[in-house]
Structure formats: C-alpha cells, structure tokens
A and B are shown apart, each in its own frame.
Chain A
Amino acid sequence: DTAVSQTPKYLVTQMGNDKSIKCEQNLGHDTMYWYKQDSKKFLKIMFSYNNKELIINETVPNRFSPKSPDKAHLNLHINSLELGDSAVYFCASSPQGTSGPNNEQFFGPGTRLTVL
C-alpha cells in the first residue's frame, strides 16, 4: 500500500564511494522529484522528471545523476561521495508535471545518507 517508497532508509558509507538510492511510486503519477534536506532541515529540490524526461535540474554537482527507467521509478546515483553529501534525501511524486504545479507532492519516507 506504500505510495512512494525509498530504499534504503539508512545508508552509511565512506568518502569516495559510489552509492544509489532507489525510489518507486505506485500512484500512477507522471512526475517524480528528488529533494535534499540538510542538517538544518532546509529542503531543496535537486531534480524532477516528467514521464522519464528531466525537467528540473538544479545546481547540483555532476556527481549526482538521476535515472528514470520508467515513470514509476526515479533512482539517484551519487559518485565519489563527499562529507557534504550527508543529508536526508526525499523522493516525491505528483500527478502532473509542469502543467500542474498545484498538485500535491507525495513524499517518500526519506533516506538518511551519512558519509564518513
């Protein structure tokens, strides 16, 4: 019954490693997002995909690469992890893309990434 799911929930890794976070939604939504929440709780959008097409790409380092194999999945791959990447990463989805910003975004439970 989970609407937006993320795996893993916790991720602890060493600097320099490459890691992926997976996100899946079973709501039939067209648009998916990745947000980053830093240690001060500030939430900022990173990426948005609409029907597998990238529509928002904020000023995020190239080490972050989203991949959307289908519209129900949006994975986040991070290369060469740095200490500053430690944060909670939230996946979200909404029914419509650029034509429907009024639509509620449903958030996943978050993935707490800790880089040592």
Chain B
Amino acid sequence: AQKVTQAQTEISVVEKEDVTLDCVYETRDTTYYLFWYKQPPSGELVFLIRRNSFDEQNEISGRYSWNFQKSTSSFNFTITASQVVDSAVYFCALSEETSGSRLTFGEGTQLTVNP
C-alpha cells in the first residue's frame, strides 16, 4: 500500500531564510510518481512538480528545488530565500503505476514565512 509521510506539521521561518520540507514515501511499485502541491490561504491546490521513479535528477525552478533520493525514499522540497507569499500548506503526493491515477497525499506541512 502506498503511503506518504510529511513529519513536519508546521514550520515557521523569517523571510529570506531557506527552508526544507521533508517528504518520505512508501511503495511496493517500481514505477511511481511523486508530486508537490501548494495550498495557499485562498484554498486552491496549485501543482508544483511531478517526478517519476526513474528520474532521480534534482530539479530547480527559481527559488524552488527538489531532492529526490530513492535510497531513502524521500522527495524533499527546498525554498531558498523564502518570502511571505510562500506561506501555505504544502502537500507531497504519490501515485503508483498499479493503483491507477489516485494520488495519495501526505498530511501536509503548514509553512509560515514571517516578515
């Protein structure tokens, strides 16, 4: 069965600090897909990134970067030089090849960036 764990329930940082959100997953499939979504206070779910299990290359998009490590079953998300607008709940999610298209979400991490 697939499972996603985001151990950090809440993180609070001061603007311009770097912050890393942890995500650990469990799956028996060899083919799977990992996602990060952002949920700002307005409530919508915003897609950030998708990674498949065969692509362990780290990715950088502006101030965002993702570190995928199959050896530790982790897919961590780092925000560099955080800004107040980054304040949101961030969800890590997993989809297995054999489970169809369902996304299994982690519990989410509430990130608060203070000015």
Report how many residues on chain A are interfacial, defined by Cβ distance under 8 Å: 32
Per the bound structure, the CA–CA distance linking A94 and B103 in Å amounts to 11
Report Cα–Cα, A96/B18, bound state, in Å. Answer: 36
Q: Across the interface, do B44 and A102 meet the contact criterion of CB distance under 8 Å?
A: no
With A102-B33, A102-B95 already in contact, the answer to whether A109 and B101 are too (CB < 8 A) is no
Q: At the interface, yes or no: B50 with Cβ under 8 Å from chain A? A: yes
Q: How far is the CB of B110 from chain A (nearest CB, A)?
A: 8
Given known contacts A104-B50, A107-B44, is B105 in contact with A43 (CB within 8 Å)?
Answer: yes
Q: B62: CB under 8 A from chain A?
A: no
For the complex, is A103 an interface residue (Cβ under 8 Å from B)?
Answer: yes
Known: A48-B100, A109-B43. A102 touches B105 (CB 8 A): no
Q: Does B26 contact A (CB under 8 A)?
A: no
Q: A101-B33, A104-B47, A110-B44 are in contact. Are A56 and B102 (CB under 8 A)?
A: yes
User: Which of A100, A105, A109, A112 has its CB near the most chain B CB atoms (within 10 A)?
Assistant: A105
Q: Which residues of B, 67-94, contact A by the 8 Å Cβ criterion?
A: 89, 91
> What chain A residues lie within 8 Å of B35 (beta carbons)?
104
Chain B residues near A48 (CB-CB < 8 A): 100-102
In the docked arrangement, what's the CA distance between A106 and B35, Å?
A: 12
Query: What residues of chain B have their CB less than 8 Å away from a CB belonging to chain A?
Result: 32-33, 35, 37, 39, 43-45, 47, 50, 52, 89, 91, 95-97, 99-105, 107-108, 110
The 9 closest A-B pairs by CB, nearest first: A107-B45, A101-B95, A43-B105, A98-B100, A102-B33, A45-B102, A101-B101, A41-B108, A109-B44
Which residues on A are within 8 Å of B, measured CB to CB? 31, 33, 35, 40-45, 48, 50, 55-56, 58, 88, 90, 92, 94, 96-98, 100-107, 109-110, 112
